[in-house]
Amino acid sequence: MRHRLRVYYDVTHPIIAWYRQRGILISIDAMRPAKDVAHDIIDALEAKRRTTRTDADDASHTAAAAGGDGPSTRDRSRRPWRPGRSDIVEAVWRQRVRAEQITDPVTYHGEGPVWSQRWGGLRWVDMLAGDVLSLAADATITRRHVGNVAAAVRPRRHGGAVIGVERGFVLEEVDGTLTHLPEVWADRRSRMNEGGCDPDGRFYCGSMAYDQRTGAAALHRLDPDRSVHLILDGVTISNGLEWSPDGARAYYNDTATGQVATFDYEPGRGLTGRRSFVSIPERSGRPDGLTVDAEGGVWVALNKGGAVRRYTAAGVLDDVVEVPTVHVTACAFGGERLDELFITTSREGVEPGEDPVAGALFRTTVGLRGLPVREFAG
């Protein structure tokens, strides 16, 4: 059962208001799953259209019988624009779920939430502070400094963690010891930004230039034998990366493109066949981190958009979670049953007092479960 709504639509939303101005009022009293409510509204609106059209046609034919003008193709072709089915769906879903704030604004640039039973819960990074944060069951937060930048963190299969740092990788041992691997590059104008593990236990981490120069970044892969491989170059802001439940496809955000890309994946060949999965209109925000649920839906955090969107495996917008700050960065499923969606935010570039909840951690439930985190095999 999907998350349930208390209010089904916002009468101030321009799409719903368009109908209200024309006397089309929808009333649904029962508590229903959000998707069902959306389709109920669509069906009711379309029924109203048919009734209105039939009444107009009857009046037109009556007028024609009385010697007046009947219906004409010319008049129909000049009908004004009216919202389409997809407009209504988005109008409803954008009122659907609002995430709950569960911490104070504890990060300057929160990113990369990851749930692992090995850790006993959630970790995420305060990226530009170089810290990895942990959230305990009693809501206590601990913080560990790992370098100038803490870009991404994933558990290791035999305990500990792998961490993307400013220009390379760090291995955390079970006892907490940190082993810094050789730097991947020497150029201080760029840093690591976000990453994840493939189904075969290899850790990917992408980069970006501090000044966000176009094409100055790349995606690198750390293998279990500690060798590093260049996977993609010509990237601008390498961001979210995650695989489908069957491991056959990967989803990837280079934020500057405004698109979520998808790849085919095979262990021997790696990522191939890059193509567009969905495009995000600039007005909706910038694709940042992402995660994939157990049904294959892709959840995309929209920086500057104040939301996380779910797309089906076919690339169809299916759900929207609203976050009370526009500075959304990443998302991941967690909780004992992997049925809670955790959302990180940032206050980078935010003026004091401008957005008081930016930098906090948020959580919601969406009626779906996530996938267990993929672990680094090294």
Looking at the structure, do residues 38 and 177 belong to the same domain, yes or no? Answer: no
Mean of per-residue pLDDT scores for the chain: 84
**Residue 191 resides in a domain:** yes
**Residue 9 resides in a domain:** no
**Residue 201 resides in a domain:** yes
Looking at the structure, do residues 184 and 253 belong to the same domain, yes or no? Answer: yes
Interstrand relation of 317-322 and 97-98 (parallel, antiparallel or unpaired): parallel
**Residue 274 resides in a domain:** yes
Q: Which residues contact 10 (CB under 8 A, 6 or more apart)?
A: 16, 91, 95
- 276-94-114 Cα angle (round to 5): 65
**Residue 106 resides in a domain:** yes
Looking at the structure, do residues 233 and 343 belong to the same domain, yes or no? Answer: yes
Looking at the structure, do residues 163 and 79 belong to the same domain, yes or no? Answer: no
Q: Are 181 and 144 in contact (CB under 8 A)?
A: no
- Residue that finishes a domain, picked among 73, 95, 117: 95
Interstrand relation of 228-235 and 317-322 (parallel, antiparallel or unpaired): unpaired
- Residue that finishes a domain, picked among 60, 95, 130: 95
178-190 in b/e form (b: 16+ CB < 10 A) is: beeeeebbeeeeb
Q: Are 315 and 349 in contact (CB under 8 A)?
A: no
Looking at the structure, do residues 51 and 173 belong to the same domain, yes or no? Answer: no
DSSP symbols for 8-62: ---TTSHHHHHHHTTT------S--BHHHHHHHHHHHHHHHHHHHHHHHHHHHHH
**Residue 246 resides in a domain:** yes
**Residue 146 resides in a domain:** yes
Assign residue 191 the CATH number of its domain. 2.120.10.30
Looking at the structure, do residues 226 and 359 belong to the same domain, yes or no? Answer: yes
Say what the pLDDT of residue 319 is.
Answer: 86
Burial of 66 (0-12, 13-18, 19+ CB in 10 A): exposed
Say what the pLDDT of residue 311 is.
Answer: 94
Looking at the structure, do residues 291 and 232 belong to the same domain, yes or no? Answer: yes
Looking at the structure, do residues 201 and 299 belong to the same domain, yes or no? Answer: yes
Tell me the HSE value of 358 on the side-chain side, using a 13 A CA sphere: 22
Measure CA 112 to chain center. Answer: 12
At 210, is the secondary structure helix, strand, or coil? coil
The tokens describing 219, both together, are 């995606």
Say what the pLDDT of residue 275 is.
Answer: 98
Length of the chain: 378
Looking at the structure, do residues 64 and 123 belong to the same domain, yes or no? Answer: no
The tokens describing 269, both together, are 């060949």
Say what the pLDDT of residue 91 is.
Answer: 52
DSSP symbols for 290-356: EEEBTTS-EEEEEETTTEEEEE-TTS-EEEEEE-SSSBEEEEEEESTTS-EEEEEEB-TTPPTTT-T
**Residue 374 resides in a domain:** no
Burial of 134 (0-12, 13-18, 19+ CB in 10 A): middle
Strand extents, DSSP E, 118-258: 121-126, 131-135, 141-145, 150-155, 161-165, 168-172, 178-180, 190-197, 203-209, 217-222, 228-235, 238-243, 249-254
- At which residue do the structure tokens 């094409």 appear? 215
Say what the pLDDT of residue 98 is.
Answer: 84
The tokens describing 282, both together, are 């600039």
Q: Are 113 and 331 in contact (CB under 8 A)?
A: yes
Looking at the structure, do residues 119 and 193 belong to the same domain, yes or no? Answer: yes
pTM: predicted TM-score of the whole model, two decimal places: 0.78
Q: Which residues pair with 220 in a beta bridge?
A: 205, 230
The stretches in the chain having pLDDT less than 70 are 1-96
Looking at the structure, do residues 261 and 161 belong to the same domain, yes or no? Answer: yes
Q: Render pLDDT for 125-155 as a digit per residue (tens, 0 to 9).
A: 999 999 999 999 899 999 999 999 999 999 9
Closest residue by Cα to residue 321 from 276, 291, 356: 291
Looking at the structure, do residues 164 and 225 belong to the same domain, yes or no? Answer: yes
Say what the pLDDT of residue 377 is.
Answer: 97
- Residue that finishes a domain, picked among 95, 127, 152: 95
Name the residue range of residue 86's domain.
14-95
CA distance 190 to 158: 31
CA distances from 112 to 205, 208, 299 (A): 11, 15, 13
Task: Please state the domain count of the chain.
Answer: 2
